[in-house]
Amino acid sequence: MPREYDVQAIMNALKEKEELDPDKHDGSYELMRKTIEAYESSTNHRS
C-alpha cells in the first residue's frame, strides 16, 4: 500500500533550503536564463 505524503509541505520545506537556491550556488541557471532570453529575442530562430 503506497504511503501518503504532504507534497505541498515537502515542496515548501525544499524552497526554504538555502543550498537549493540555484541563483546563489550555480551560475549555470543564470546563464541558461540569459541564453533562452537571447534566443527568444533573436529574429533568426525558427518556430
Question: What are the domain boundaries of the chain?
Answer: 7-41
Amino acid at 38: A
Amino acid at 3: R
pLDDT value for 2: 59
The pLDDT tens digits of the residues spanning 1-47 come to: 457 889 999 999 988 888 777 667 677 777 888 888 998 888 665 65
Are residues 33 and 27 in contact, defined by beta-carbon separation less than 8 angstroms? no
Read off the pTM. 0.40
Show the cell assigned to 21.
537556491
